């Protein structure tokens, strides 16, 4: 059985996953390529995002997809393939929805928003503790753009640490390794729940907010 990864390794892995989600790979389409495929099928942003989400949720809940992709991309030896591929699909999905919503994937603040969506509602407390109280229930893109750069660095670090405390634990690292069948039954359900939550939040942040801003112009 693999040993639990440490915090530094976990942060490096998430950073690598983020880069993989943006950069094209012959075995794994970038977020932009994925988004363009769905927007070519419909002009409605919500419809395109929902079609994309249905497909991505299926992937994170399927051991077959994880096993096949895990054999094609380079995965660090310190982390299980199921965890790595699930995070990769989720981060790419967030970025693809951002692209559908008209956002610049190379915006320097994009990573903070993606991390915030991964973490969920807990991120609000992190912003509050650094003196930046969100004006909405979700951490929006426009809100992050108003946060000073130095503060964002502190926020990012706190989000990394919190994500590690949740997903970098020994229990999650061990799921699917000691008892593969049970691990996948449990892991698949967890992946479905988290991916669906992440997808819903991504639409609210990148598409609903964009529509609201456009209606005010």
Range(s) of the domain holding residue 19: 8-210
Residue 121 lies in a domain: yes
Does residue 161 form part of some domain?
Answer: yes
pLDDT tens track of the chain, all 217 residues?
445 567 787 888 888 889 989 987 777 889 999 999 999 999 999 999 999 999 888 877 665 555 555 454 556 655 666 777 788 889 999 999 999 999 999 999 999 999 999 888 888 899 998 888 887 767 888 889 889 988 998 998 899 888 888 776 543 444 444 333 334 334 455 677 888 889 999 999 999 875 444 444 3
Residue 36: CB partners within 8 Å, gap ≥ 6? 99
Number of domains in the chain: 1
How far from 21 is each of 29, 34, 95, 129, 149, CA to CA, in Å?
8, 10, 8, 30, 23
Helical residues (DSSP H) of 71-148, grouped into ranges: 81-100, 110-119, 122-129, 141-145
In a domain, 217, yes or no: no
pLDDT in tens, 48-85: 999 999 988 887 766 555 555 545 455 665 566 677 77
Does the residue 216 lie in any domain? Answer: no
Angle subtended by helix axes 31-39 and 7-22, to nearest 10? 40
The CA-based diameter of the chain, rounded to the nearest angstrom, is 56
- Please indicate, yes or no, if residue 3 is contained in any of the structural domains: no
**Residue 184 domain-assigned (yes or no):** yes
Contacts of 138 (CB under 8 A, 6+ apart): 201, 204, 205
Domain assignment present for residue 195? The answer is: yes
Cα distance between residue 118 and residue 156, in whole Å: 12
Kindly report the pTM of this predicted structure.
0.81
At residue 159's C-alpha, the angle toward residues 65 and 60, to 5°, is 10
């Amino acid at each position: 059985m693999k040993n639990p990864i440490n915090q530094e390794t976990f942060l490096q892995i998430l950073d690598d996953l983020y880069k993989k989600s943006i950069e094209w790979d012959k075995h794994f389409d970038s977020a932009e390529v994925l988004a363009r495929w769905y927007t070519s099928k419909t002009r409605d942003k919500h419809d395109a995002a929902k079609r994309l989400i249905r497909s991505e949720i299926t992937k994170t809940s399927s051991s077959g997809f994880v096993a096949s992709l895990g054999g094609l991309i380079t995965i660090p030896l310190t982390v299980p393939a199921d965890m790595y591929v699930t995070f990769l699909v989720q981060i790419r999905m967030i970025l693809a929805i951002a692209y559908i919503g008209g956002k610049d994937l190379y915006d320097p603040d994009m990573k903070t928003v993606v991390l915030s969506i991964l973490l969920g509602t807990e991120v609000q407390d992190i912003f509050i503790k650094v003196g930046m109280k969100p004006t909405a229930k979700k951490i929006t893109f426009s809100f992050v753009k108003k946060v000073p750069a130095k503060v964002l660095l502190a926020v990012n670090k706190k989000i990394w640490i919190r994500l590690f405390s949740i997903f970098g634990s020994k229990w999650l690292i061990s799921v699917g390794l000691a008892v593969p069948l049970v691990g996948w039954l449990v892991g698949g359900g967890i992946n479905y729940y988290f991916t669906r939550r992440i997808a819903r939040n991504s639409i609210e942040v990148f598409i609903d907010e964009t529509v609201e801003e456009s209606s005010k112009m």
